[in-house]
Structures are given as C-alpha cells and as structure tokens.
Amino acid sequence: MKSRGCLITAAVLVVIAIVAFGLFSWGLGIYNNLVTQDEGVRSAWSQVETQYQRRMDLIPNLVSTVQGFAKQELAVFQGVAEARAKVGQLTVTKEVLEDPQAFARFQAAQDQLSSALSRLLVVAEQYPQIKSNENFMDLQKQLEGTENRITVARTRYNETVQGYNTTIRRFPGSLVAGFTGFKEKAYFQAKAGAEEAPKVQF
C-alpha cells in the first residue's frame, strides 16, 4: 500500500516535471523568437542610420559647391547648416525606438533636413553654371541615390518592425513579452500632407 502511494507520488512528480519542462521550453522558444526579431529590428535600423550618415557626409561638399556659384543665397545655406546640425545632435538609442514621441522628433529633424536640401537644389536650378558643373552633378546623383536608399531602408525597417510588433501583441508572444520587457517599436510615418497630390501650376 505504501509502495503504491510512493509510485503515485512519483508519477505525479514526473508529470509535473514534464509539464514544467514543456512550459519552460515553450516560453524559451517564444523568448528566443522575440530576441531574433528584436535583433532584426536593430539590424534594419542600422541600415537606416548608415544611409542617413551617408547623406550627412555628402551635404558639406554639396553646399560648398553650390555656395561657390551662388554666394548671395545665405538663407538657404544657413537653413541647411542648421538642419544638419540639429540632426547631428540626435542620438537614437533603443529607448528612442520604443518611444513614439522621441522617434517622431527624430523623424521631424530628418524631414527638416530633407526640406532644406530640396531648397538648396531649387537654388542650384536657378544657376545654369552650377548645373553644368561636373562636381555638382556627381554630388547631386549621389544625393539622389542616397535618398532612394533611405526610402528603401525605412521601408525595410517598417516591415521588420511590423513583424516584431505583431509578435509581441499576439498571444502567446504578448505574455512572454510582458514578462521579459520587450516593447513595441515606432514606425516611420509619412510626412503630414503626403497623401495629397502636389499642385502643378504652369
């Protein structure tokens, strides 16, 4: 009788151990998946940063080339310098990627720099001698290529973030994410008014 009770107790303990091991393995699998996706987001973000840095490095040469021909356009040059300085002061940490407001400030600074560069290129269009300058043409092509790379990198980042955010919001990922501190990441958003077609006047 006593040995039968011991056998039942041992069987119960084995079942509990198997269930506990199964739950641990299940949670560990979900956790490892979250880690993999989080690293994917970081990798996608590093591609965005690389392209932004490439643009930052091109700007001084582009500005000095245009400035050589259009010295009187001081306001445009100052606007580019200020926007570039503002972007240069931003540091994007893991916390910024998880804070939609901080991420929006980062995106706004980058959008302001894009706008300043657009104004610089409009100025260049007004000076035929700039447009015919080989150095300027090369820099302009590099900048256009970089802007395209930024768009591609931002799109890939958003796609990666979508997969990650979906995983941590869906059950059982939400359960494991809540216990282990994984948080949603912010998306790049379209500029305000981007949904409206630009007005073309002749």
pLDDT confidence bin for 192, thresholds 50/70/90:
low
Contact 153, 44 (CB under 8 A): yes
* Buried/exposed code over 36-71 (b: 16+ C-beta within 10 A; e: otherwise): ebbebbeebbebbeebbeebeebbeebbebbbebbe
Flag whether pLDDT at 22 surpasses 90.
Answer: no
For residues 143 and 61, what is the distance between their CA atoms, to the nearest angstrom? 11
Task: Look up residue 178 and give its two tokens.
Answer: 């809540």
Tens digits of per-residue pLDDT, 128-161? 888 788 888 899 999 999 999 999 999 999 999 9
Q: Give pLDDT, residue 194.
A: 47
Q: What's the pTM?
A: 0.82
Give the chain's domains with CATH numbers: 2-180 (1.20.1440.20)
